[in-house]
Amino acid sequence: MSFVRQITKFSQYAKIQSYFKNISAAPVFHVRSYGSVPADDPSTFPGAKAPFISKPEMIMPTDVAPIPIYRVMDSEGVIVDSTQDPQLGEGLVKKMFRDMVMLNTMDKILYESQRQGRISFYMTNFGEEASHIGSAAALEMRDLIYGQYREAGVLVWRGFTIEQFVDQCYGNDADIGRGKQMPVHYGSKELNFVTISSPLSTQMPQAVGAAYAFKRQQNNDRIVVCYFGEGAASEGDAHAAFNFAATLDCPVILFCRNNGFAISTPSTEQYKGDGIAGRGPAYGIATMRVDGTDVFAVYNAMKKAREYVLRENKPIIFEAMAYRVGHHSTSDDSTAYRSAEEIEVWNSKEHPISKLQKYMRTKGWFNEDEENAFVKDIRKQVLKQISVSEKKLKPNWREMFEGVYDEVPQHLKEQMQELEKHIAAHSDFYPLKHFKN
């Protein structure tokens, strides 16, 4: 028994070795040779194209090597393989850096403002800034984004303003979403960012449907990108999305942010296979796995993914590995289920912002004073916006009845009138002065 195990381990080792030789190539799964039946005796079952074998074999999960993680920069911000340097100009790299810093800075302040009770809820993006910015930078503005809730960086890249972020969190009259959803449920028609909703994974088959509709448009040059966490990938809708995207040939990038945790549940309790990328081949979908703390790796891979998806009208499963540095949300204290030391590693050495900063230093593009001034300026802007946004009135309460349908139906008109009458009689009881009239 132990002899067999050793053999298996050795062959696995060889396989992994061969991966490292081909690390820049797409992952190739090891094809097992069963050898007992000539290859010219194929089966004719409609359900699978496969040869017969004459001995029962169990395919073990360990027979397939893990999909390797593509990276461009190491922890010190050094480009590992110069052929993979995206050669981005100073301006673009600086925008990437500043957008990541801007997101990080805004997160810190809005997180604090929730702790002070000024907004009801918040979710930070700490540690995942590079997967947002790197992927967004590789896309075209016309590409349609479906997100989960931790992708605010995509909006930052596309030009969503501090004012728009903060107004949404306050649900005031300037909020595009008209104060109807919880904070961080952003959406923008202009920026092709579909409004976030709380139920996990529901956006996944939707993204696939939108991609199918795009594909049918003449000279289509748009793709759809759908972000989701590794926890959300356990939902039935994720399975639906993968399978529909594959069978219906949809130009969609299914972008998994694998940050190791779904609230308190570590990924080891979320799945037993090779992450989310490991599922790609089983659905017949091209797959990529990248270092999500490396903005250039995400950028390069997404460029390649976008080209493929648009050219072939086929989906890709894209897994960005990262670590959720912050708490799940303002309703969570993550030290209840993981150590502060572990978090600290990812918050410093392996942090996407510090990696890019090191890269910029070697290029001579990083100016400490300039960046400090930038952070200070962003802080000032966000703080100022908070004081402005919290003073803005909420929308007219009558809007509560609007948007349920394209037109307000009779029964809702009557319910609105009923409330109107009631409020008139009890106006002291309601926070009317905070709402537009």
Partner 1 sequence: MNRHTKSILISLLKHKQISVTRSHFTYYPDKNVPAVLLSEGVQKMNMFQAINNAMDKALEEDNTALLFGEDVGFGGVFRCSINLRDKFGKDRVFNTPLCEQGIAGFAIGVANAGATAIAEIQFADYIFPAFDQIVNEAAKYRYRSGGIFDCGSLTFRVPCGAVGHGALYHSQSPEAYFAHTPGLKVVVPRGPLKAKGLLLACIKDKNPCIVFEPKTLYRAAVEDVPTGSYISEIGKADILRKGNDITLIGWGTQVHVLLEVAEMAKQQLNVDCEVVDLVSILPWDRETIVNSVKKTGRVIISHEAPLTQGFGSEIAAQIQEKCFLYLEAPIQRITGWDTPFPHVFEPFYLPNKLRCLSAIKEIINY
Task: Determine the Cα–Cα distance for residues 186 and 184; give it in Å rounded to an integer.
Answer: 5
**By C-beta, is 26 or 404 nearer to partner 1?**
404
For position 392 contacting partner 1 by CB under 8 A, the verdict is no
User: Two tokens at 154?
Assistant: 């995509």
Q: Which residues are marked as active site?
A: 112, 198, 328-329
The answer to whether the beta carbons of residues 289 and 67 sit under 8 Å apart is yes
Distances (CA, A) of 206 to 31, 191, 224, 225, 250: 34, 18, 10, 11, 11
The answer to whether the beta carbons of residues 154 and 227 sit under 8 Å apart is yes
Classify each residue of 70-83 as buried b or exposed e, where b means 16 or more C-beta atoms within 10 Å of its C-beta.
Answer: bbbbebebebeeee
- Number of helices (H), then strands (E), belonging to the chain: the values are 13, 8
Task: Determine the Cα–Cα distance for residues 269 and 61; give it in Å rounded to an integer.
Answer: 16
For position 247 contacting partner 1 by CB under 8 A, the verdict is yes
The answer to whether the beta carbons of residues 151 and 227 sit under 8 Å apart is yes
CB 310 → partner 1: shortest distance, Å? 15
Task: Determine the Cα–Cα distance for residues 341 and 113; give it in Å rounded to an integer.
Answer: 26
For position 393 contacting partner 1 by CB under 8 A, the verdict is no
For position 161 contacting partner 1 by CB under 8 A, the verdict is no
For position 241 contacting partner 1 by CB under 8 A, the verdict is yes
Q: How many CB atoms lie within 10 A of CB 392?
A: 17
For position 410 contacting partner 1 by CB under 8 A, the verdict is yes
For position 411 contacting partner 1 by CB under 8 A, the verdict is yes
For position 232 contacting partner 1 by CB under 8 A, the verdict is no
Task: Determine the Cα–Cα distance for residues 332 and 104; give it in Å rounded to an integer.
Answer: 19
For position 236 contacting partner 1 by CB under 8 A, the verdict is yes
The answer to whether the beta carbons of residues 396 and 437 sit under 8 Å apart is yes
**By C-beta, is 21 or 216 nearer to partner 1?**
216
For position 423 contacting partner 1 by CB under 8 A, the verdict is no
User: Two tokens at 420?
Assistant: 């109107």
Q: Please provide residue 42's backbone torsions phi and psi, each rounded to the nearest 5 degrees.
A: -75, 155
**By C-beta, is 72 or 241 nearer to partner 1?**
241
For position 175 contacting partner 1 by CB under 8 A, the verdict is yes
- From residue 117 to residue 156, the character string flagging contacts with partner 1 as x (rule: CB under 8 A) and all else as - is ---------------------------x------------
- Three-class secondary structure of residue 279 per DSSP: helix
**By C-beta, is 67 or 200 nearer to partner 1?**
200
By CB under 8 A, the residues from 188 to 207 that bind partner 1 are 188-189, 194-195, 197, 199, 202, 204-207
Q: How many residues bind partner 1 (CB under 8 A)?
A: 46
Stretch that binds partner 1, among 22-30, 284-292, 331-339, 409-417 (CB under 8 A): 409-417
Q: What radius of gyration, in Å, describes the C-alpha atoms of the chain?
A: 25
For position 243 contacting partner 1 by CB under 8 A, the verdict is yes
Work out which of 149, 214, 228, 366 binds partner 1, going by CB under 8 A: 214
For position 436 contacting partner 1 by CB under 8 A, the verdict is no
For position 403 contacting partner 1 by CB under 8 A, the verdict is yes
For position 213 contacting partner 1 by CB under 8 A, the verdict is yes
DSSP secondary structure letters along 180-207? -S-TT---BTTTTEEPP-SSTTTHHHHH
The contact set with partner 1 (CB under 8 A) reads 144, 175-178, 180-181, 185, 187-189, 194-195, 197, 199, 202, 204-214, 216, 224, 236-237, 239-241, 243-244, 247-248, 402-406, 409-411
